[in-house]
């Protein structure tokens, strides 16, 4: 088997008395969706921020695509092919859907320090943006202002922007957040197909979606990974049932 695309070794992060990440080790392999679950306050967001570069770990390393990226910035990791979606939609709301997607293409492949030629006349960037929009069925809204989109459409646009980077890895922070049952049902096949583009590290609260999508699951509780395994293994794990699923199952 090839080396994992993303691997996190012994990552720890402390905020005062709170041990937000406690010696976390996990990896994401080609072609898989690796779900990260855990109760509120388990440290999922802190972990994601360390993987993406917004937070520096106290100890431990993040390796991405065969390189130690621990000292690299968010933008540098993104240029290496780390495509991220946010828990709360993070888009240029005054811009059109197409402009948001073109921004992604520009960051991933273009040179932003060009001052004269209209960016929307750059056929290569626009083609890349439209292709990504088409993948999430958003091309029909290309000229719509992002602020006028519904919540679900913004979630889809988040994914499209990440796609424009043609990333080697997706890191998705609760892509289903606030979507409701039917929205989740619509997005599930889209995410499932994406794993063939690039593996996904998926943080998600919706357990039905996680069990439907994930190849492997890691369970984070109080900053510690208490179990990693296939869906069946996690369902059967006594510690997980007690710490997390117990209340539901």
Partner 1 sequence: MSREAYINAIVVAVLLAVPLWAWVADAPFIITLATRIAILALAGVGLNIALGLGGMVSLGHAVFFGIGGYAMGILASHAQDYSPLMEWPFLIEGTKSMPVIWLAALLMSGLAALLIGFLSLRTSGVYFIMITLAFGQMFFYFTVSWPAYGGEDGLPIYVRNSFPGLNTLDPIQFFLICFAVLGLALGFSAALARSPFGLALNATRQQATRVEAVGIAPFRIRLVGFVISGMITGLAGALFADLNRFVSPTMFSWQTSGEIMVFVILGGVARLFGPVVGAAIFITLEHLLGGVSDYWHIYLGALLLLVVLFARGGVIGLLSSWRKASV
Binds partner 1 by CB under 8 A, chosen from 2, 16, 94, 247: 94
Contact status: 215 vs partner 1 (CB under 8 A): no
Q: How far is CA 14 from CA 17, 22, 59, 71, 143, in A?
A: 7, 8, 10, 18, 44
185 contacts: CB under 8 Å, gap ≥ 6: none
Binds partner 1 by CB under 8 A, chosen from 16, 112, 238, 247: 112
Binds partner 1 by CB under 8 A, chosen from 31, 39, 119, 144: 119
By C-beta, is 9 or 145 nearer to partner 1? Answer: 145
DSSP conformation class of 195? T
238 contacts: CB under 8 Å, gap ≥ 6: none
Q: Is 213 helix (H, G, I), strand (E, B) or coil?
A: helix
Q: How far is CA 86 from CA 91, 154, 195, 234, in A?
A: 9, 11, 18, 26
User: CB neighbours (10 Å) of residue 142?
Assistant: 18
Q: How far is the CB of 113 from partner 1 (least distance, A)?
A: 6
Contact status: 124 vs partner 1 (CB under 8 A): no
Binds partner 1 by CB under 8 A, chosen from 36, 42, 102, 203: 102
Q: How far is the CB of 105 from partner 1 (least distance, A)?
A: 8
Q: How far is the CB of 181 from partner 1 (least distance, A)?
A: 28
Q: How far is CA 208 from CA 173, 204, 213, 224, 225, in A?
A: 16, 10, 9, 23, 21
Q: How far is the CB of 204 from partner 1 (least distance, A)?
A: 19
Longest Cα separation, the chain: 62
Q: How far is the CB of 151 from partner 1 (least distance, A)?
A: 16
How far apart are alpha carbons 149 and 156 in whole angstroms?
10
Binding segment toward partner 1, per CB under 8 A, in 6-14, 26-34, 83-91, 231-239: 83-91
Contact status: 123 vs partner 1 (CB under 8 A): no
Interface contacts to partner 1, rule CB under 8 A: 52, 73-76, 78-79, 84, 86, 90-95, 99-100, 102-104, 106-108, 110-120, 122, 125, 161, 164-165
């Amino acid at each position: 088997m090839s080396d994992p695309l993303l691997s996190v070794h012994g990552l720890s992060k402390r905020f005062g008395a709170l041990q937000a990440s406690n010696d976390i080790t996990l990896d994401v392999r080609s072609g898989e969706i690796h779900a990260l679950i855990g109760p509120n306050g388990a440290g999922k967001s802190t972990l994601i921020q360390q993987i993406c570069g917004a937070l520096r770990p106290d100890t431990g390393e993040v390796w991405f695509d065969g390189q130690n990226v621990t000292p690299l910035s968010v933008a540098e990791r993104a240029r290496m092919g780390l495509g991220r979606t946010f828990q709360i939609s993070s888009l240029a709301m005054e811009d059109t859907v197409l402009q948001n997607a073109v921004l992604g293409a520009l960051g991933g492949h273009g040179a932003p320090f060009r001052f004269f030629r209209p960016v929307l006349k750059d056929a290569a960037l626009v083609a890349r943006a439209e292709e990504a929009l088409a993948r999430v069925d958003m091309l029909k809204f290309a000229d719509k202002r992002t602020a006028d989109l519904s919540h679900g459409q913004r979630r889809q646009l988040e994914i499209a922007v990440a796609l424009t980077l043609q990333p080697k890895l997706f890191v998705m922070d609760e892509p289903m957040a606030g979507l409701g049952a039917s929205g989740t049902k619509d997005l599930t096949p889209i995410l499932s197909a994406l794993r063939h583009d690039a593996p996904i590290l998926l943080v998600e609260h919706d357990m039905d979606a996680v069990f439907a999508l994930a190849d492997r699951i890691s369970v984070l509780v109080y900053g510690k990974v208490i179990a990693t395994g296939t869906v069946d293994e996690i369902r059967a794990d006594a510690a997980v049932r007690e710490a997390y699923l117990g209340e539901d199952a």
